[in-house]
Structure 1
Amino acid sequence: MSAKDYDSLTEEERNVQDAKDRERERQEQAALPYSWSQDLQTVTVNVPLPKGIKSKDLIVVMDRRKLKVGGVQVKGAPEPIMEGELFEDIAKDDSSWTIDSGVLTFELEKFSAHINSHRWWPHVLTKDPKIDTTKIQPENTKLSDLDGETRAMVEKMMHDNKQKQLGEPTSDELKKLEMIEKFKRQHPEMDFSNAKIE
């Protein structure tokens, strides 16, 4: 269904369509040989391994844009358990894989050339079915989880929103007013009575 068709639906029809889409996505994802989850920085991929497989039996390739899990001695499995091109580049040196209780887990760090420009992945491998990333509801992040610069920016935005709701000046507006007052004190000879402050 196109975005235009979706927009023309009533709220009730949208809810029905959303439920159908979620169920279709759930079935498509359940059919994959792995499960996965993500946040804005990391994609976690869990690959259940055939019984009795040890790390020495596996061929694991984790490259900038490729993942492969195959077995050297996996009986009856000539094809890789998982193989393909990743949706986007990963930061290979910051990514890792481990095996625990018969599950191979990849922690893939999303690569970003620009700070805070990570985005949601619609799928792990480009050949696999996509999820609708517009419907992702991220978990609430605690301010304490953020780095100093991001936290300061978020706190400023929260403060400014609160000030706007109260009809009070925001931090930037306060800075402007302070600069004007300072300028007035430095230049008492000037008449500011008709000055417009925006």
Structure 2
Amino acid sequence: MATEPERFDSMLLAMAQQHEGGVKDLLKTIVGFLARKTDFFTGGREGDWEKVVKETFYEHAKKAKEEADRIKREKEEADKRLKDIQQRKEQERLQQDFEAASVTELTDQEAVKLQEDIDKDQKKKAEIGDGDTNPEVVDPPEDDDDDPKEKNKLKPNSGNGCDLEHYRWTQTLEEVELRVPLRQVLRPRDLTVIINKKHLKVGIKGQPLIIDGELDSDVKVEESTWVLQDGRNLLVNLEKVNKMNWWSRLVTTDPEISTKKINPEPSKLSDLDGETRGLVEKMMYDQRQKEMGLPTSDEQKKQDVLKKFMEQHPEMDFSKCKFN
């Protein structure tokens, strides 16, 4: 059952839909009714109706602002919790990935074998340097083309989404933005836009739907919106439920994009604090290095320290040490 302030909502919404000029025209209708059918403007002392209007509007404006502030505050708190969780996960992951190197004592037999391997490598490098042989170069896999799971998947557009025949969608970790060019001037009431938790319908009334399918993942219906821009372009914003996941398609009938090729908005790094930004940049650099079979930043640092130490102490024999 509707509460007292809400019991006329359905009636007022039905009225609002009949006013093409929006709230301004709706207010004119209500005020016109008061002028024609009641003594609102003439029944009291001079200035009474102005006082009632002012008090009523200011009262509800205050409530509306308090509610908007509450929603904004809750969203900021949720974003902060999400950022804290992401930062903690990255820190834990980095700690696991970059454990200190350990030194293990080798047996005489293992030391001989290690020295033989080193000699072979040095000989091979010398031969390559002289140009006598061609090195066997193994290129890193490019764009996961050899991965059967990635076969036939599309490369994401500049917004980490996909450009399709009738619409274009982009995404961040928080939301999906859909743009539909309508190729004709329309009014909001000419459109069909139905956003459900797992389903989306978009189209022009009287014509086949442009989109009618199950979404790639759940959305928050109450936080999702749509607007008609210049009468020609429909913009739909879908708020993701899972903010740790990239979508591979808008609806399940669309072709998939490769989420491995997504570029997570480098411009957003400027919004992070110095420590978090450093961790994220380090993680992205190390991920690229791993994909190319190259040492990560910490592994390279360890190698540099070891190389410098060995150069400073040529009298020491490292042939019986193995570095993991």
The RMSD of aligned alpha carbons is 3.7
Matched, 1:14 2:14: no
Matched, 1:119 2:252: no
Matched, 1:154 2:276: yes
**Structure 1 letter corresponding to 2:139:** E
Q: Which string of whole-angstrom CA distances, capped at 9 and with x for unpartnered residues, describes residues 109-146 of structure 1?
A: 1113xxxx521100010111000000111122445635
Distance 2:169 2:220 in 1: 18
1:108 corresponds to? 238
Structure of greater relative contact order (alpha carbons < 8 Å, 6+ residues apart): 2
Deviation of 1:64 after TM superposition, in Å, equals 1.1
**Structure 1 letter corresponding to 2:212:** E
Deviation of 1:25 after TM superposition, in Å, equals 6.9
2:257 corresponds to? 131
Distance 1:23 1:156 in 2: 31
| Change in 2 beyond 3 A, CA 1:138/1:16 | closer
1:41 corresponds to? 174
The total of aligned residue pairs comes to 140
| Change in 2 beyond 3 A, CA 1:54/1:155 | closer
Deviation of 1:98 after TM superposition, in Å, equals 0.8
**Structure 2 letter corresponding to 1:93:** E
Counterpart selection for 2:165 from 32, 49, 55: 32
**Structure 2 letter corresponding to 1:107:** N
Distance 2:174 2:156 in 1: 22
Contact 1:111 1:118 in 2 (8 A): no
Contact 2:179 2:234 in 1 (8 A): yes
Secondary structure of 2:260's aligned partner: helix
Matched, 1:65 2:194: no
Task: Compare CA radii of gyration and give the structure with the larger one.
Answer: 2
- Residue segments in structure 2 that go unaligned for 5+ positions in a row: 1-137, 284-297, 303-324
What is the percent sequence identity of the aligned residues? 32
Matched, 1:99 2:228: yes
- Residue segments in structure 1 that go unaligned for 5+ positions in a row: 1-9, 168-198
Secondary structure of 1:131's aligned partner: coil
Contact 1:62 1:92 in 2 (8 A): yes
Contact 2:155 2:257 in 1 (8 A): no
Distance 2:156 2:269 in 1: 32
TM-score, length-normalised on structure 2? 0.36
| Change in 2 beyond 3 A, CA 1:140/1:53 | same
| Change in 2 beyond 3 A, CA 1:88/1:142 | closer
| Change in 2 beyond 3 A, CA 1:103/1:110 | same
